[in-house]
Amino acid sequence: MSPRVALLSLLFAALVSCTPSDDRSLIETSRRVFGPLPDQRLASDTPELVKLGEHLYHSNELSVNRTQSCNTCHPVATAGVDRLPTSKGALGTPGRRNTPTVFNASMHLAQFWDGRAATLEEQAAGPIVNPIEMAMPNAEAVAERLRTSPAIDRELFRKAFPGDAQPLTLDHASKAIAAFERTLRTEDRFDEFMKGDANALTAQEKDGLRRFMALGCTSCHNGPLVGARIYQRIGIVNEWPNPEDRGRYEVTKKPADDQVFKVPALRNVANTAPYFHDGSVDQLDTAVQRMAWHQLGKELSAEDRDAVVAFLHALTDKGVAAK
């Protein structure tokens, strides 16, 4: 048993013995297992760079036929997801995997379900030249569009990259988009609870938090994002019913990575349905039951399920419209 797993096991054992009124113990345990969200912005994210990134994020000019922007599949107003099982690209071709939220994205272990992009900047550039997403043919075509389109504010580029003689590039566009995306950070009542406000969660949500930890969900869903720190095989105990997508294996070609995906972050999870890499589940309570069965080999009671779902609702961003 690894030291981290051993520590978590001790924490879970202590948690189960807590009385429902022991809020202080629950707050302290939550701080150790999760911890509040940090600020994900960088010192290099100047106001000018962020403003350019916001402009480009909402611009259809970065898609081949000027029909889509980043915001099409990752609408900021609806938690950074379009709430479809899979999204269609600019040419109408559906993607293979469910669209993840861009909120808190830079704090993830890596980007995309299979972790093929190491940084947010790399992720921002990927869909623009992906043939089934925004479908621009190459980086030079993007640069030409940036240089010639009347819908692109080139003055924003000059202000964001004042020392660069050639600021109109895909690389600069992706840096700006990433800077804007780092402003997309959730704020929820769970952080308030971990900062010491015992009344920030309801009694049922606190009960769900205890059960979430005691059941073993935190073996994968831990840290400030409540996930997104490790890769894990989907269907550890009971096989996943849709084995066609081989996940991270497609990136690494390692047999051990077959059907391995980045563990999703659960911040704002109540607003980001449908769930899983294949977008196969619409309801959060069903997703919780499926995870318990496939990953932990447990059939949850209705009481366990409802309490855990209540806790997950406490992770809802206060600034995003509810589903």
Please answer whether residues 261 and 271 qualify as being in contact, where contact means their C-beta atoms are separated by less than 8 angstroms.
Answer: no
What are the 10-residue block averages of pLDDT along the chain, 323 residues in total? 50 49 91 95 96 98 98 96 96 96 97 97 97 97 98 97 94 98 97 97 98 97 98 97 95 98 98 97 98 97 98 92 49
Spatial distance between the Cα atoms of 158 and 52, rounded to a whole number of angstroms: 10
Number of Cβ within a 10 Å radius of residue 88: 16
Q: What is the pTM of this model?
A: 0.90
pLDDT of 20: 47
- Alpha carbon distance 76, 183 (integer Å): 11
DSSP state for residue 45 in the 8-state scheme: -
Of the candidates 288, 293, 289, the one whose C-alpha atom is nearest the C-alpha of residue 270 is 288
What integer pLDDT is reported at residue 297 of this predicted model?
A: 97
Name the DSSP letter for residue 275: B
pLDDT at 5: 46
- Helix orientation angle between 47-57 and 170-181, rounded to the nearest 10 degrees: 100
User: Which domains, ranges and CATH numbers included, belong to the chain?
Assistant: 3-33+186-313 (1.10.760.10), 47-181 (1.10.760.10)
Give dist(CA 230, CA 212) in Å, integer: 18
The span from the CA of 230 to the CA of 263, in Å, is: 6
Say what the pLDDT of residue 163 is. 87
Question: Is-catalytic flag, 28?
Answer: no
How far is 33 from 62, CA to CA, in rounded Å?
40
Integer distance in angstroms from the first to the last C-alpha of the chain? 40
Do residues 80 and 103 touch, judged by C-beta distance below 8 A?
A: yes
Distance, in Å, from the CA atom of 176 to the CA atom of 160, rounded to the nearest integer, reads: 8
Instruction: Provide the 3-class DSSP secondary structure of residue 281.
Output: strand
- Structure tokens given for 2: 């690894």
133, 205, 239, 299: the active-site residue:
133
